[in-house]
Chain A
Amino acid sequence: MKIVFRGLAIAAIAGTVAMCTGCSTIGVKPWERDILARPEMALDASPVDNAFDEHMYFSKESASGGRGFGGGGCGCN
């Protein structure tokens, strides 16, 4: 599985470099952001749901996090 993670990391870094070096075919023009601006399209559109879920799964499972920082700070695991 370390190989899998290493592969994912390399793919992510390669993807990041590709995106950051100006892959102009991906993305939208500034006036095409109407759908992305909808509240439910926000990456954290339901912050309370995410906070409850992080806390619940942190206390019941071994893996946690991923979305961002948070989910820790509990003696439940």
Chain B
Amino acid sequence: MQLNERGAGDSLRAGLMAATCALLAPVVKAQAPSEDPTQIDTGLLYYQEDGGRVRSLDAIVKLNRDLGDEHVLGAQLSVDSLTGGSPNGAVAQKTAQTFATPSGDSLTRTGRGEHSQVYSIAAGKQPLDTSFHDLRIAGDLSWAQPLGIGNKLAVGAHFSKEYDFISASANGMFSHDFNSKNTTLGLGASAEFDQVKAVGGAPVAGSSYTLFRKQEGSESKRVYGAQLGVTQVIARNWITQLNLSVDRSTGYLNDPYKILSLVNATGVTTGYFFESRPDTHTRKSAYLGNKLALGSSVLDLSYRFGTDDWGIDSHTLEAKYRLRIGGSAYIEPQLRWYRQSAADFYRLFLTAAPTGFMSADPRLAAFTAKTVGLKLGLPLANGQEVSVRLEGYQQDPKVRSSALAGLSGLDLNPRLRAVVLQLDWRFGF
């Protein structure tokens, strides 16, 4: 190769080639583009919470096959294995407490066999059900194709199975390009059908824990959603996306394994009750995402506002900054901040006989969460890429204590900390 200065003809040719490539490039890419028609993304994730809580190992294999003329077939298979302790909703006490596992039907140790259906929680400790374990297998299929000039249709289907939960869903999105492909307007809808098969049977909502009253059969849930999205090219180095989403769930929305403590005037637990949630839940969200190239680096900045008819409002801010460190290698610091208010019916514990809806699920409490992460991406030969991501996640509940004498000094809704290690490998053929 000669290193002499290029002539005017070469410059013109190069410019025309760049313009041609640019004209052929679609405005919004569902996936990162590749010269290979088949793109495989694989990922392995290890998630570990502190204090003997949930530990999870997840694997994903994602395939995208470009069949030409913007017809793209996608498939994804994921497997999650979970073990560890999950909060059962009861509050800590200054004395030991005894609970039954979901398959248990008594708080008395039967002593039959090696698998006890009763577990004890030491004084001062958050009640965790350590019998929690599950294996989830999920499959997704997607198809995208042009539909007339400037239009695109994307459809998808999902199926997943756990020990106590089955889910099937379908979605579709129609989009149209405007303004020389600088604006894309999309409208989509989704439908999800779930079946809950609670271990030991679903408890009667709001009933006393010690009665072990169960509902007959399995419980079902349906979720219908709609989304309006706009993608806009703002400048040569800036693309933005705005999505408005709404979804409505109906059916069995309780967590069958969550209970609440009933405490007396001094804070001593006198009983436990199964939670009871409304059988409808409508959520709305507005998501604003941005991709901004700054030289060879890329800033990904997003904000999401969420609100629902359970009284939970949430704000999510996320920033990722991909910084090239030589060739195509990069490091990517990641920051995420999340805050939610509590559900109207969230109770840390009960102080009177229960009436109406109630739940002590920590995920319905008011809290702030922060994620700090760092990703390192390294290109390999033949367009392959490996990356490793390390993250720390911390959830700080707003209310963690009580002034009642029997509960003073106890951490009633402890902080959650988790570490995440992820390995990815991308290749094409």
Contacts and interface: CB of A to CB of B under 8 A. Distances in A.
B233 A28 contact: yes
A14 B420 CA distance: 40
B62 A19 contact: no
A57 to B, nearest CB: 8
B97 interface: no
A39 B29 CA distance: 9
A51 to B, nearest CB: 6
Nearest to B136: A74
B58 interface: yes
Q: Which of A9, A16, A66 has the most CB of B within 10 A?
A: A66
Contacts of B66: none
Contact of B233 (A26, A38, A51): A26
Contacts of B291: 41-43
Interface size class of A (residues with CB under 8 A): 35 or more
A60 B422 contact: no
Provide the main secondary structure of the chain B interface.
Answer: strand
Given A38-B293, A48-B41, A12 B244 contact: yes
B149 interface: no
A24 B336 CA distance: 34
B236 to A, nearest CB: 5
B171 interface: yes
B285 interface: yes
Contacts of B190: 69
Contacts of A33: 22, 25, 236
A13 to B, nearest CB: 8
B183 to A, nearest CB: 5
Contact of A60 (B31, B245, B363): B363
B241 A43 contact: yes
8 closest pairs, A vs B, by CB?
A75-B165, A27-B182, A66-B287, A31-B19, A48-B43, A73-B167, A63-B306, A63-B314
Interface of A: 1-2, 4-5, 8-9, 12, 15-16, 19-20, 22-24, 26-45, 47-49, 51-52, 55-57, 60-63, 65-70, 72-77
